Amino acid sequence: MGFSSALQSRAAHEALIVRQDAELRLMETMKRSIQMKAKCDKEYAISLTAVAQQGLKIDRADEMQGSLISKSWRSYMDELDQQAKQFKLNAEQLEVVCDKLTHLSQDKRKARKAYQEEHAKIAARLNHLTDEVVRKKSEYQKHLEGYKALRTRFEENYIKAPSRSGRKLDDVRDKYQKACRKLHLTHNEYVLSITEAIEVEKDFRNVLLPGLLEHQQSVQESFILLWRNILQEAVQYGDLTADKYKEIQKRIDTLIGSINPTEEYGEFTEKYKTSPTTPLLFQFDETLIQDIPGKLQSSTLTVDNLTVDWLRNRLQELEGAVRDCQEKQLKMIEHVNGGSPVANGSIISNGSNTSNGIQSNKDSLCRQSKDLNALRCQEKQKQKLVDMIKCALNEVGCEELPSGCDDDLTLEQNFIENGYNNEQQQRSNSTSSPGLGIMNELMRRGGVLTLLRGRGRHFKRKSTPQPATPMTRSRQGRFNKLQPRSQSLGSLSISLSTNRPLYEEEWFHGVLPREEVVRLLNNDGDFLVRETIRNEESQIVLSVCWNGHKHFIVQTTSEGNFRFEGPPFASIQELIMHQYHSELPVTVKSGSILRRPVCRERWELSNDDVVLLERIGRGNFGDVYKAKLKSTKLDVAVKTCRMTLPDEQKRKFLQEGRILKQYDHPNIVKLIGICVQKQPIMIVMELVLGGSLLTYLRKNSNGLTTRQQMGMCRDAAAGMRYLESKNCIHRDLAARNCLVDLEHSVKISDFGMSREEEEYIVSDGMKQIPVKWTAPEALNFGKYTSLCDVWSYGILMWEIFSKGDTPYSGMTNSRARERIDTGYRMPTPKSTPEEMYRLMLQCWAADAESRPHFDEIYNVVDALILRLDNSH
């Protein structure tokens, strides 16, 4: 099973990137371990040399002349010295192995980057053409509107002109013909862009993406081969050959030898196996030409006097592009047949004795094959457009081209064939064709038939478009008050006032992110209205649960009204009520029907109810303020989210509120609500007047007693015990993220990195991770459990008893990480009770399963406090 057939989806692509990151982390772990072994071997060699030199210092050696035991001893010491030299040599070779592993890691990073860039490049090509199709359609609609307007103007001037000629009529006719030309040219561009998009998308799925993935698999397997060779070298220089090591060495050789590059990704590919990507459907929008009489046909090029020159020029350009692709292919084929160069300075690997370059002859040929496939796809795409234009030109020929513009006779013939109504009917019936009114006027004057007979030409019958029926009076009426169709929605009744702002409606949820909206809509027919910001422009969205979750942008008409597919309304409230009462689908395609409005949850507050007083801090997403609630006069703390942040960051900001709203514990900071009705988004929490625990420890370092410090540790343990019972992993427990009230009680805060899972694996990199507070297994493997919080709690205890000192002071993050991996633990802070330091060391156990859980930690600290209180 290969990459090209199994890993085409976006999720599989991202999983492949994550897999490569994990392999790079594994390489770093291997490198550190081999470096440590080389260091140990060197130190052992020095010790052995010292032993041998000491053993050769035999006093009065001449007295032992001829002694067999002396000779044996000297030989033994010489062998020890030789063994020391061998250990030193092995250590030096292990350092060479580390260098190779470093180069391999660098090459692997480059290969990963090249894969990401190539994947993005071919995906961008498809996205560009998709956008181009949309743009061409938009142009089509624009020219279509201009064409219609000029056509109407031409009809009016033609009727008014007494002799069917004149300067004004000629000017109008000229503008009308130009609009026809623009429309037809735009039509052809739209058809060509759709055709090209279809070909590009087909090649993306069948050739380019599989080719890239196949090449990537070859590169990855080449890495595995080199990686195995490096490991075999490392094992070779660690073989001591003694009997007690032989069995271990045999097992190691068996394990290392079992690495098979072709099987390395078998389980990974099976796990992320997906079906081939679903083809994107590019179709001509036939609604564009429904009411256009004439020769414009869907997905068909129009060849007439307006477009023939443009088509011929376009044909020449495309034929030139096809020739260029063919020439490039020939050169590439000749280059491959003439030799086997290794492109871009790639190094050919030939076993473990060569350098760590990643490209082999196979890799180079695979890349050249991929490039050749890309050229063939380009040639095929352009050739498709060439054939389409040639076919259109051949069908018409070049002698007598059809007219590209409806002339005045064509319009008049349409009027005659469509019949006519009298003038009174035209005035009273707003649904009549606009062409009929013109025909009535011509018939009244009595000159139409004579005019037609005089021209003596024949025309094809064309249908006259009918305008949409206007809204009835009942739909135009405005409702003062709307009741639900069953008089109640549970205990909810919906009322509507034309003077009431939208943000006051209970079913309007402001800028609540889509993830939160999906969580609220559970049953078919559940709906709510929200606001979203796209391209710095606000849009109102109706979200409905109906065979999944669907989101409809409220359309604004040129008159300032609001609509979906049905009639427009003066306010969004009236539009929603109409959809609800009528029980009509929001759109015919979706079939979504509004049945039950979902009102704001109790913790969704109004922005206007929060009065910001003063800034008291700064967070990752924005400023933190002291504020007051108008409704209760309660002082609160408010975290704000900068309006310029992308939606992904806003979702992360609201994650803290989503987690906190379900927790209630005296040692967890309380959520009062979130404000999403307007910008900026805000999280409203209880105001803890003592501020940050870290700042409190540093300001009050001289006045803190051991009893108070132990009480702080107990408070933090109580809060974390509660979180552990809720399967919540905090991931950022530290003194800076705890608050202190006026009674010295500690509250856990800042849940921005928290996850409600028993085990959480980091998938978005390890950026902004607090290294000195994070457990080794989380740093090395990205694996978080509640026992990782236990490690962080040990650091928090150390901060409390050191009265706000910085952990691992004087060490960089990387240095602290290295020292921890070798077994280093921070010494006890001054005046720390022995039992509390012993608890810290238990929290810092290298094996996560050996650490105590928070329930046990709380009981230990509580018992120590009780004993301290009784002793006084």
pLDDT for the residue numbered 404: 47
Query: Does the pLDDT at position 68 exceed 80?
Result: no
Question: CA-based Rg of the chain, rounded to a whole angstrom?
Answer: 39
Distance CA(520)–CA(193), nearest Å, equals 41
Confirm whether residue 621 is marked as ligand binding.
yes
Q: Please give the Cα distance from 489 to 527 (Å, whole number).
A: 12
- The answer to whether the annotation marks 370 as part of a ligand binding site is no
Label residue 62 by pLDDT band (50, 70, 90): low
Burial of 738 (0-12, 13-18, 19+ CB in 10 A): buried
598 is annotated as contributing to ligand binding? no
CA gap 141, 163 in Å, rounded: 34
Q: What is the pLDDT of residue 276?
A: 73
Q: What is the mean pLDDT of residues 470-491?
A: 34
At 288, is the pLDDT very low, low, confident or very high (cuts 50, 70, 90)?
confident
In terms of pLDDT, which residue wins out, 564 or 312?
A: 564
782: left (phi over 0), alpha (psi -120 to 50) or beta: left
> Is residue 702 a known part of a binding site?
no
Name the pLDDT band for 107 (thresholds 50, 70, 90).
Answer: very high
Which whole-number Å values give the CA distances from 143 to 136, 167, 617, in the listed order? 11, 25, 55
Q: Which fold has domain 3-377?
A: Substrate Binding Domain Of Dnak; Chain:A; Domain 2 (1.20.1270)
Q: Does domain 601-687 have CATH number 1.10.10.10?
A: no
pLDDT at 577: 92
The pLDDT of residue 251: 63
The pLDDT assigned to 60 comes to 53
800 in a labelled binding site: no
Mean pLDDT of 771-792: 91
The per-residue pLDDT for 826 is 95
Residues 390-423 as b or e (16 or more Cβ within 10 Å = b): eebbeebeeeeeeebbbbbbbbbbbbbeeebbee
Least confident of 204-213, 498-507, 594-603: 498-507
pLDDT at 118 over 60: yes
Measured distance CA(593)–CA(168) in Å, rounded: 53
pLDDT band for position 64 (cuts 50, 70, 90): low
Angle in degrees, 0-180, between the axes of helices 361-396 and 209-236, rounded to the nearest 10: 180
Both structure tokens of 351: 């076993």
Angle at 553 between CA 550 and CA 559, to 5 degrees: 150
Known binding residue 455? Answer is no
Is residue 484 over pLDDT 70? no
618 marked as binding residue = yes
Q: Do 601-687 and 3-377 fall under one CATH topology?
A: no
Instruction: Measure the CA angle with vertex 239, ends 237 and 242; round to 5°.
Output: 150
Tokens of 800: 């409390």
pLDDT of residue 273 exceeding 90, the answer is: no
Residues in CB range of 38: below 8 A, 6 or more apart: 91, 92, 94, 95, 98
Q: How many CB atoms lie within 10 A of CB 111?
A: 19
| 293 — pLDDT class (breaks 50, 70, 90) | low
- Extents of the domains making up the chain: 3-377, 408-455, 475-595, 601-687, 694-872
Backbone angles phi, psi at 492, to 5 degrees: -100, 135
Question: What mean pLDDT comes out for the span 610-622?
Answer: 86
Mean pLDDT of the chain, nearest integer? 78
Distance CA 605, CA 510 (A): 10
Active site residues: 732
- Determine the average pLDDT of the residues in 65-88: 74
Residue 790 annotated as lining a ligand binding site = no
CA separation (Å) from 104 to 100, 229, 231? 6, 11, 12
Tell me whether residue 622 is annotated as binding: yes
320-362 pLDDT, tens digit each: 988 998 888 888 887 766 644 433 333 333 444 444 444 456 6
- Tell if the pTM clears 0.85, that is, is over it: no
Instruction: Please check the confidence at residue 445 and state whether its pLDDT lies above 70.
Output: no
Which range is least confidently modeled, 338-352, 490-504, 695-709, 749-763? 338-352
Q: What pLDDT does residue 663 have?
A: 84
CATH 3.30.300.30 fits 694-872, yes or no: no
Which pLDDT value is given to residue 290? 74
Strands 604-605 and 610-618: unpaired
- Give residue 438's pLDDT: 32
* Count of all residues that appear for the chain in the document: 872
Phi-psi label, residue 397: left if phi above 0, alpha if psi -120 to 50, beta otherwise: left
Q: What is the pLDDT of residues 502-555, one digit of tens each?
A: 877 889 888 887 877 888 899 999 999 998 876 667 789 999 999 999 999 999
pLDDT recorded at residue 242: 54
The answer to whether 375 and 329 are in contact (CB under 8 A) is: yes
Q: Which CATH superfamily is domain 475-595 in?
A: SH2 domain (3.30.505.10)
- Which one has a higher pLDDT value, 535 or 83? 83
CA 63 to chain centre: 84
Token code pair at residue 489: 């929605």
* Confidence check: pLDDT of 460 > 70: no
Q: Which of 448, 451, 411, 150 is nearest to 293 (CA)?
A: 411
413 or 579, which is more confident: 579
pLDDT for 764 equals: 53
Average pLDDT over residues 677-697: 89
Q: What percent of the chain has pLDDT over 70?
A: 78
Instruction: Judge whether residue 447 has pLDDT over 50.
Output: no
pLDDT at 564 over 80: yes
Cis peptide before 680 (omega within 30 of 0): yes
More confident residue, 424 or 856: 856
Q: Say which range, 161-165, 278-282, 574-578, 638-642, has the weakest mean pLDDT.
A: 161-165
- DSSP label of 782: -
CA–CA distance from 580 to each of 405, 503, 585 (Å)?
46, 19, 9
Range in 208-222, 483-497, 594-608, 782-796 the model is least confident about: 483-497
Is the confidence at residue 720, as pLDDT, over 60?
A: yes
Residue 848 is encoded by which pair of tokens?
């996560």
Q: Tell me, what's the pLDDT at 645?
A: 79
| Per-residue pLDDT at 496 | 45
Is 623 annotated in a binding site? The answer is: yes
Q: Smallest Cα–Cα separation from 820: which of 849, 780, 855?
A: 780
Which DSSP string corresponds to 487-549?
S-BTTB-----TTS-GGGSTTB-TT--HHHHHHH--STTEEEEEEEEETTEEEEEEEEESSSE
DSSP state of 569: B
Question: Do residues 237 and 97 touch, judged by C-beta distance below 8 A?
Answer: yes
* The pLDDT of residue 619: 76
**For the residues of 629-698, what is the DSSP string, one character each?**
ETTT--EEEEEE--TTS-HHHHHHHHHHHHHHTT---TTBPPEEEEE-SSSSPEEEEE--TT-BHHHHHH
CB-based burial, 642-679: b 16+ in 10 Å, e otherwise: eeebeeeebebbbbbbbbbbebebebbbbbbbbbbbeb
Q: What is the pLDDT of residue 417?
A: 31
Instruction: Please name the residues in contact with 83: beta carbons below 8 A apart, sequence gap of 6 or more.
Output: 48
* Sheet strand arrangement including 682-686: 604-605, 671-675, 682-686, 635-640, 623-629, 610-618
